[in-house]
Amino acid sequence: MMRECLENVRKSVPLVHNITNYVTVNDVANVILACGGSPIMSDEAEDVEDITSVCGGLNINIGTLHKTSIEGMFRAGRKAGELGHPILLDPVGAGASALRTDTALGLMKELKLTAIRGNISEIKTLAMGSGTTKGVDADVADAVTEETLDEAVEFVKRFASTAGCIIAVTGAIDLVSDGEKCYVIRNGRPEMGKITGTGCQLSGMMAAYLTANPQDSLEAAAAAVCVMGLAGEIGWSRMQEGDGNSTYRNRIIDAIYNMTGNELEKGAVYELR
Amino acid sequence: MMRECLENVRKSVPLVHNITNYVTVNDVANVILACGGSPIMSDEAEDVEDITSVCGGLNINIGTLHKTSIEGMFRAGRKAGELGHPILLDPVGAGASALRTDTALGLMKELKLTAIRGNISEIKTLAMGSGTTKGVDADVADAVTEETLDEAVEFVKRFASTAGCIIAVTGAIDLVSDGEKCYVIRNGRPEMGKITGTGCQLSGMMAAYLTANPQDSLEAAAAAVCVMGLAGEIGWSRMQEGDGNSTYRNRIIDAIYNMTGNELEKGAVYELR
Amino acid sequence: MMRECLENVRKSVPLVHNITNYVTVNDVANVILACGGSPIMSDEAEDVEDITSVCGGLNINIGTLHKTSIEGMFRAGRKAGELGHPILLDPVGAGASALRTDTALGLMKELKLTAIRGNISEIKTLAMGSGTTKGVDADVADAVTEETLDEAVEFVKRFASTAGCIIAVTGAIDLVSDGEKCYVIRNGRPEMGKITGTGCQLSGMMAAYLTANPQDSLEAAAAAVCVMGLAGEIGWSRMQEGDGNSTYRNRIIDAIYNMTGNELEKGAVYELR
């Protein structure tokens, strides 16, 4: 199944419209190309509807919000909704500022999101802010570890169910749920956190996977998470003495570029709960 | 001749003002440095006239248009025109949105452009929109291949003539014409399309070449196209197992950095029509 | 002392708020991660106060000024001042445009800056514009060389004293002064100037060093300069045939990532005047 998700991206070359932050945008574009998609970036409110109309999916990332691009996010999202395109939201920094939290919650409320991908802290912020959690849920730990796994799976499932979209929480252990099933993924390496934007890169790739696999959104989202983690492992295995986070960034993108369906099937480490 | 164009850039270190998109801007800056120029970026309307005044040439790229930077493009372009600086336009995404098409056509109409560089689809959009093509011209194929070469050369020559500036169409085969002569260039590799922004990088480098070679604009533009394609070939020859598009990006810029006039003369593959 | 400054960054993982240009922002983020800090980028006026409040230090870089982000710089700077956070200003292009010069001078006037880092031309512009130099000072040469060193040290000391903050002038020889002492640093390589943004990268890292070493600001600023220069030397020693400025960029960031306190103590080349 993951193999097919990967191969569908390479076969269909999904065109992904990205409204994303200027910190990691170049890497996001190169990752989308590496996995087999094609990226277009546009955030100007007067430009986004035309651009989203020629694309197949939309990736919204609030990493460096501007008042003007917020309008672009809503306009693009509404148009993508009309066209039935998958929409992914990456709520970067939700919880760190009111503007980010409010914008993410507003996008959740107004748009037909297909998936939200963030770290546990960002996802908790959205769960609490949107009133979709109660009691015990809000107490989920701030890191997903073997010790906190059970409650985290429960939290993610419940939030996915009430939010009505796929929730992907990435960290030491990654969780991807549609409210019924939850992928628990153990690919990746801690050193990926020393590269800026591996999360943004994953969101861009996940948008491409969702676009190319409209009938299997949950599997597509999980496959993208496995590709990113596995690329982190393969990239690390190619590191040489003296290499650091800049070379590691290149090696991860290179590994995504070269990854085959076979490699993914063999390397993906996950269980379904 | 191409050797001299390259060497003039290294000798004169042209200062190029770039109003460009935030996706590929870092690579554009490093490519301009690699070829021997010096880049400055500024798009704020209140800043651009001062900046363009201390530069020798202007590179306008509409890849991520903002309403505010559009005003900057016009202001910088008018100032550059007054100062006699070469101006290059890269109409990224013309045809994909009304804002991009209209902006590119407006810049063509109002500014004294020295060159326009884009893919065949973008260039066709401008040719049709500016009313400079009729009948058969508009029917030129959407890719420049050996089969469509004759008509494409004819189209590019005619558009360059009516537009009054150099037209560079890049793709599998590259065409660079001033309306009378047309360079047909066969350097490069298809894998360059898997790196974001090789077109933007070429536009930045071409602006540096035009600035350093004011008496030989056509040859300078063609030389920049050959340098980019040849760097794509040299970079590819240095790829090792496991390398992908991220490493390839680095190797191409490295090859531009190290390219000599001799290497260019020997490696450039072109004919004049 | 420099060893401790480096180790304090790795131990405390300072969170640095960056309002910086879109050209070099990705490299700035990766350098801050490489040295042991953690970067957040935000320039929207309505977002910056919240973001700066969760950080420990602020890095303001005017490399691609926008009218809207200027307001963000002032708001973030005032908030950082209230919170007692170190603030670094990188006055990119001061002297090249009125908007840049005026903005840098305005920030100097209104904010409690901890340090300003720029090239000699930018720093001279600020010294003259802020009325803190008189007579001979304004005549300091446009490059810091062995020949001009004495007067440059004198100039930097005096400007630091009147400006009331650390002044770091980087170039062939680097000077870092608090008005009383002046570090004269001879690390680095000229080829670093062929990479876009090594200055911006240093400013980001210096902000992390200042944040992690509040009791030793001068030493922290000087240590950051030595780390950058030494990384330039180490990175260069790893260059292979065919490598150019793009690979060099990666190797420098890699060297920062791997640098130890011991390596810094051994490799730093400086004298105190």
Helix/strand/coil for A60: strand
Half-sphere exposure of C267 (CA within 13 A, CB side): 22
> How confident is the model over B198-220, as pLDDT tens digits?
999 999 999 999 999 999 999 99
> How confident is the model over B134-189, as pLDDT tens digits?
444 456 778 899 999 999 999 999 999 999 999 999 999 999 999 999 999 999 99
Mean pLDDT for each consecutive 10-residue tract of chain A (273 residues)?
Answer: 97 98 98 98 97 98 95 98 98 96 98 98 93 54 90 97 97 97 98 98 98 98 98 98 98 98 98 97
Helix/strand/coil for A209: helix
Amino acid C136: pLDDT: 41
Half-sphere exposure of C197 (CA within 13 A, CB side): 33
A243 in B contact zone (CB under 8 Å): no
> How confident is the model over B152-164, as pLDDT tens digits?
999 999 999 999 9
With cut-offs at 50, 70 and 90, classify the pLDDT of residue C2.
very high
CA distance A79 to A75: 6
Instruction: State both tokens at B52.
Output: 């363009």
> Measured between alpha carbons, how far is residue B154 from residues B73, B137, B138, B220 in Å?
30, 8, 12, 21
Pairing relationship of beta strands B166-169 and B115-118 according to DSSP bridges: parallel
Amino acid B135: pLDDT: 42
* Residue among C20, C22, C254 with most chain A CBs within 10 A, to mutate: C254
Q: Which residues of A fall within a CB distance of 8 Å from C253?
A: 244-246
Amino acid B124: pLDDT: 96
Q: Is the pLDDT of residue C179 over 60?
A: yes
CA distance C35 to C32: 5
Q: Do A194 and C238 touch (CB under 8 A)?
A: no
Amino acid B143: pLDDT: 86
With cut-offs at 50, 70 and 90, classify the pLDDT of residue B132.
low
Beta bridge partners of B18: B41, B59
> How confident is the model over C38-56, as pLDDT tens digits?
999 999 999 999 999 999 9
Helix/strand/coil for B59: strand
CA distance C83 to C103: 22
CA distance C266 to A201: 38
The string of DSSP letters for B67-119 reads HHHHHHHHHHHHHHHHHT--EEEE-TTBTTBHHHHHHHHHHHHHS--SEEEE-
Work out the burial of residue C149: count CB atoms within 10 Å of its CB; fewer than 13 is exposed, 13-18 middle, 19 or more buried: middle
Q: Which residues of B fall within a CB distance of 8 Å from A42?
A: 64-65, 93, 97
Residues 210-239 in A contacting B (C-alpha not used; CB under 8 Å): 234, 238
Amino acid B139: pLDDT: 60
Q: Do C44 and A99 touch (CB under 8 A)?
A: yes
Evaluate whether A87 touches A77 at the Cβ level (below 8 Å): yes
CA distance B249 to C245: 12
Torsion, Cα B212 B218 B222 B224, to 10 degrees, reads: 20
Q: In chain C, what percentage of residues exceed pLDDT 70?
A: 97
> How confident is the model over C87-142, as pLDDT tens digits?
999 999 999 999 999 999 999 999 999 999 999 999 999 999 876 654 444 567 78
Cα B232-B236-B242 angle, rounded to 5 deg: 140
Give pTM, 2 decimals.
Answer: 0.97
Evaluate whether C60 touches C91 at the Cβ level (below 8 Å): no
Cα C110 to chain center, whole Å?
19
A135: DSSP letter: G
ipTM of the complex: 0.96
Please count the residues of chain B. Answer: 273
Secondary structure tally for chain B: helices H, strands E:
11, 9
